[in-house]
Structure 1
Amino acid sequence: MAQQQVDAKADTPPGGVAGEGERPARSPREIRLVMIGLVITMMLAMLDNLIVGTAMPTIVGDLHGANHLSWVVTSYTLATAAATPIWGKLGDLYGRKGTFLTSIVIFLVGSALAGLSQNMNEMIGFRALQGLGAGGLMVGVMSIMGALVSPRERGKYQGMFAAVMAIATVGGPLLGGFITDHFSWHWIFYINLPLGAVALAVVWVTLHLPKVRSDAKVDYLGALLLTVGITSLVLITTWGGTQYAWGSKHIIGLIVLAAASLIGFCYVEARVQEPMLPLSMFRNRDFTVVSIIGFIVGFQMFGGVTFLPQYQQIVQNASATNSGLLLMPMMFGMLVVSLAVGQVVTKTGKYRVFPIIGTVVMGAGSLLLSTMGVGTTRLTSSIFMAVLGAGMGFLMQITMLVAQNSVQLKDMGVASSTATLFRTIGGSFGVALFGSIFTNHVTDGLKSLPGASGSGSDGTGQMTPAKLRTLPEPVQSAFHHAYSNGNHAVFLWAAGISVVSIIAALFLKGTPLRGAGKAAGEQAEGSDMAAMAH
């Protein structure tokens, strides 16, 4: 397809609906081929962070770095959060295809190097490199899909991506355990290479997008300030009250650095010609609301869910592989609801009720999970996880859809990246905050345990299920209760944080999707038929 220059004014079509712009006619076959590449890429991005979890004990044991275990995850999420808005803006300025392909290459290089790591410092650094690429994968998939299909038709495709995300949530831990047990932990990174190569080839050959703009500069100062601010906040959440006292010079210094960086970021973004994160987008109430909801969804998904395998393996005595299987009810709830919501939005063009229902159900799921104790059956916990999954299913793709619907087509990339950014930041804060809460409760629960210090655990989650089963019954019971209390605290906090998302969802205006309504729907169908004929 011939490349064409799209003027910014074209983003406001006749009729005054800002943001739709021109979408060249494409055959269904072309769209399907591109979607194959996007789905593989989304699977890579989702699996990578999840597949490491079950392999983590082997990795840190092999590389002698148990004290730095959390940074294998945090370095990845921090790099992803910092890079996401940069990739989105680069895509808007210089073309989404080129930046997307570049992010895939960086991700694959990081994967290869992580597999070759010989110590924890190398692993943490190469995981950060992976995260830099992963930021471009997630936002690239969503912004390219936004450029290919209209908001009205986007729901059914986003349901497909939601299915990939749900499958990856369970498939990641299962695959990680299988590879670690039957091959070696190195292959959890090497497996990305052939899959990534296929995605790279498919997108390179099949994706053709019109050039949008290329005459502006990237806001590198804004990117630097945002990175410093986010990193400082996560370090405060991670270290405050655990490694350093809240009143220590380290934490106070980080608070000052975070405040100065974020204030400076807002100052820069309000004045540069091409801001990395246009603050004007937050004048749109719906965009602001879904950003808040997305942040809390990230909190729940990446934060709280991280601790379910801990509960299953330590308290319920499940193996690593079985703990992945026990997550399937959550995946099933997320999958079914996401697909159903996508179809309803596509047919009706209405979505306002779904964020309200989703936030309530998500909060209820967290509250139910907080009630699990030592005697809770696997059936009961499975039902509770299904409720949480259903709540997230209502929200995961709606937040992206509303964010994209709130901006002009020329800002689709930065809108997608901002929505992804808030979810990723939420995940980073969730892992840090819930990790601190969990560790404190487990440590407190083991303080009075005779011989705990010699049991091979420091009370912070280093105890493996296999080692625990070799200890005397009183010690096992103490660990069961300590981990159960930690789980209770984590999900009780998660339920409380969900209240904020419920309140935010009530303020959603529910601006009609472009192309929504009967007449517009008929027009959209006509456009689709024209695309097929073309």
Structure 2
Amino acid sequence: MNNATMSHRQVLEALSGLLLGMFVSMLSGTVVSTSLPVIVHDLGGDQAAFTWVVTSTLLTTAIATPIWGKLSDLFNRKVLIQLALVIFVGATAAAGFSQDAGMLIAFRAVQGIGAGGLAALSQVIMADIISPRERGRYMGLFGAVMALATVGGPLLGGFLTDVANWRWNFYVAIPFAIAALIILQITLKPAPPTRDRVRIDYFGIVLLATSVSLLLIWVTSAGDSASSWFGWWSWQTAVMLGGAVLAGILFVVVELRSAEPLVPLTMFRNRTFTLSVLASIAIGIAMFGTSVFLSQYMQMARGATPTQAGLMTLPMIGGLLIASVVVGNLISRYGRWKGFVVTGTVLTGVGAALLSTLHYDTNFFLVSVYMLLMGAGVGMTMQNLVLIVQNTARPEDLGAASSGVTFFRSLGGTIGVSVMGAALASQVSTLFVDRQADIGKALASLGKKGAEIGAQFQTGTLPEVSKLPDVVRVIVEDIYAQGIAASFLIAVPFAVLSFIAVLFLPNVSLTRMTTRERLQASEADLATYSAEGGMEAVPATGPVPTQAPQSRRSRRDG
């Protein structure tokens, strides 16, 4: 099945299950975003637990993404995306039964395994159905799905938390998931696997998971504050950081020697792939870090309820959706992308810098403008980096290439949330000590109620700021505003890095050929060349050019 033999209606039918699956994935993530402070508070978690509830999902998503991408080159893609959906929704529903922060973190980690599959496979299957040049024509549909999930999710989650119970946040996507599985089974007919021989790089999977996990545990747990498990300069730091580096080196060695590497390092010879990876890491840090802590800012620094926080973050979501849909259509119409992506990285950096100036009483109109700029920057950049890589990747490496960019974006997001969360926890801990006299005076004025609040502060559990008395709430809001603003500043240099990487990307025009058409055209080209006596016959499963003969110029990008 390819775009050349499919009518617009057939393409829409093929995309319907995929769109619903993406909706389930996004809804399950966004519906809890504004409720996390309340969830972590109810489960007795501290700021480190809040960070790990988010980081655990991002970590396993990052690790699982290249694995699913490689599997998509080897096995039936429809079966894989259905399996990923089952894992994702099953773990999400199980998270609703969590009795403490540890259980929630564990189920969220399993959720990330399924999320990695949905992220990687949706990109690969879209490339099977729609050419890079025509992708923008359908961006309105993806924009509508994103709008419904990213706008409706936080509002629905906040409403369920305020009116009923936060546990319903984890159950609401189940009916949609069942419908998505049925529709995928009926409508989706993806291209067959591009490899005949099935080999899975198990050793590479273990080494990658070990390296990334040790690095993030170290970043989150180390520090000099009383809440940290160990210091920056300690034997635990040496073991974890050294182990992460060693596992990373061994991973590179294994990938170079593997017949079917998890992450084909030869792809880094392609300048487009390498620079897109660098930009994706930086965008992931800026995107995930700011979006996670913006919700916390609304509740911890402005005293909003979960429902109010969902409404207050709409400017960022609106900027992301409008920019992604409008820019997607412009790219599809004109076939040029570089100016939009460069502009997106600039807006991301400016938005992150402005968000780092926030106070608890910053005029909300200015906060909305800052969020709008950040959202527009991410919307112009995020998916287009995957599109650029798919445009130049070899058809038989499409799964690995697509998931490679998504993996590094998730990895960047995981590192970003971990580093920003660790910085926030350290800053808040320091500020609570510095403001101890002010807090003590405010608590004393409340009598017995103040003593109860003070005892809760001593446990380290995240406070429910919207329910604190005004005299205490103002101090707590100021503390969290300063800590969150300082963490936003971390995203700025990475946004600058993404701008530099995108600036040097080769400006290759987008092809109108789907993945299967490119593979067939390349095989036909090789067969013609062989028939003319130019070379021995080449097996269809061997390396092939990425474009039809008339498009070979676009391959010379590094």
TM-score under structure 1 normalisation? 0.87
Which residue in the other structure is 2:54 paired with?
A: 73
Which residue in the other structure is 1:217 paired with?
A: 199
Residue in structure 2 matching 1:354, options 340, 351, 374? 340
Q: For 1:56-109, what per-residue CA distance to the aligned partner results, in whole angstroms no more than 9, with x for missing partners?
A: 344445544557343322222211111111111111111211111111121222
Which residue in the other structure is 1:401 paired with?
A: 387
Question: Does structure 1 retain, via aligned residues, the 8 Å contact 2:303–2:466?
Answer: no
Question: Does structure 2 retain, via aligned residues, the 8 Å contact 1:30–1:206?
Answer: no
Q: CA deviation at 1:409?
A: 1.8
Distance 1:311 1:23, change over 3 A: closer
SS of alignment partner, residue 89 of structure 1: helix
Q: 2:148 aligned with 1:161, yes or no?
A: no
Residue in structure 2 matching 1:180, options 154, 158, 161? 161
Q: 2:498 aligned with 1:501, yes or no?
A: yes
Residue in structure 1 matching 2:29, options 49, 57, 60? 49
Question: Does structure 1 retain, via aligned residues, the 8 Å contact 2:45–2:101?
Answer: yes
Distance 1:166 1:281, change over 3 A: farther
Give the aligned residue type for 2:457: S
Task: Output the CA distance in 2 between the equivalents of 1:377 and 1:57.
Answer: 23
Question: Does structure 2 retain, via aligned residues, the 8 Å contact 1:443–1:459?
Answer: no
Residue in structure 1 matching 2:352, options 343, 350, 366? 366
SS of alignment partner, residue 485 of structure 1: helix
SS of alignment partner, residue 391 of structure 1: helix
Task: Output the CA distance in 2 between the equivalents of 1:124 and 1:309.
Answer: 19
Which stretch shows the higher mean deviation, 109-118 or 321-330? 109-118
Residue in structure 2 matching 1:34, options 11, 14, 21? 14
In our comparison, the structure showing a higher alpha carbon Rg is 2
Give the aligned residue type for 2:427: H
Distance 1:455 1:380, change over 3 A: farther
SS of alignment partner, residue 243 of structure 1: coil
Task: Output the CA distance in 2 between the equivalents of 1:166 and 1:436.
Answer: 31
Q: For 1:477-516, what per-residue CA distance to the aligned partner results, in whole angstroms no more than 9, with x for missing partners?
A: 3323222211321222212221111111111111221239
Task: Output the CA distance in 2 between the equivalents of 1:345 and 1:202.
Answer: 30
Identity %: 39
Task: Output the CA distance in 1 between the equivalents of 2:304 and 2:45.
Answer: 25
Which residue in the other structure is 1:128 paired with?
A: 109
SS of alignment partner, residue 10 of structure 2: helix
Aligned-residue CA RMSD (Å): 2.4
Give the aligned residue type for 1:314: M
Q: How many residues align?
A: 495
Task: Output the CA distance in 2 between the equivalents of 1:376 and 1:149.
Answer: 45
Task: Output the CA distance in 2 between the equivalents of 1:347 and 1:30.
Answer: 21
Q: 2:325 aligned with 1:344, yes or no?
A: no
Q: CA deviation at 1:460?
A: 6.7
Which residue in the other structure is 1:140 paired with?
A: 121
Which residue in the other structure is 1:323 paired with?
A: 309
Task: Output the CA distance in 2 between the equivalents of 1:415 and 1:159.
Answer: 25
Give the aligned residue type for 1:464: E
Distance 1:165 1:421, change over 3 A: farther
TM-score under structure 2 normalisation? 0.83
Q: For 1:354-390, what per-residue CA distance to the aligned partner results, in whole angstroms no more than 9, with x for missing partners?
A: 2211111111111111222233111111111111111
Question: Does structure 2 retain, via aligned residues, the 8 Å contact 1:443–1:460?
Answer: no
Give the aligned residue type for 2:483: G
Which stretch shows the higher mean deviation, 346-355 or 144-153? 346-355
Q: CA deviation at 1:163?
A: 5.0
Distance 1:377 1:154, change over 3 A: same
Q: For 1:449-488, what per-residue CA distance to the aligned partner results, in whole angstroms no more than 9, with x for missing partners?
A: 23568263359781212333x15x2x43332322221132
Task: Output the CA distance in 2 between the equivalents of 1:481 and 1:183.
Answer: 30
Q: For 1:234-256, what per-residue CA distance to the aligned partner results, in whole angstroms no more than 9, with x for missing partners?
A: 11221121332111111111111
Q: CA deviation at 1:210?
A: 3.3
Q: CA deviation at 1:111?
A: 2.4
Which sections of structure 2, spanning at least 5 residues, go unmatched?
A: 441-452, 518-558
Task: Output the CA distance in 1 between the equivalents of 2:462 and 2:102.
Answer: 19
Q: 2:465 aligned with 1:483, yes or no?
A: no
Give the aligned residue type for 1:506: L
Question: Does structure 2 retain, via aligned residues, the 8 Å contact 1:94–1:214?
Answer: no
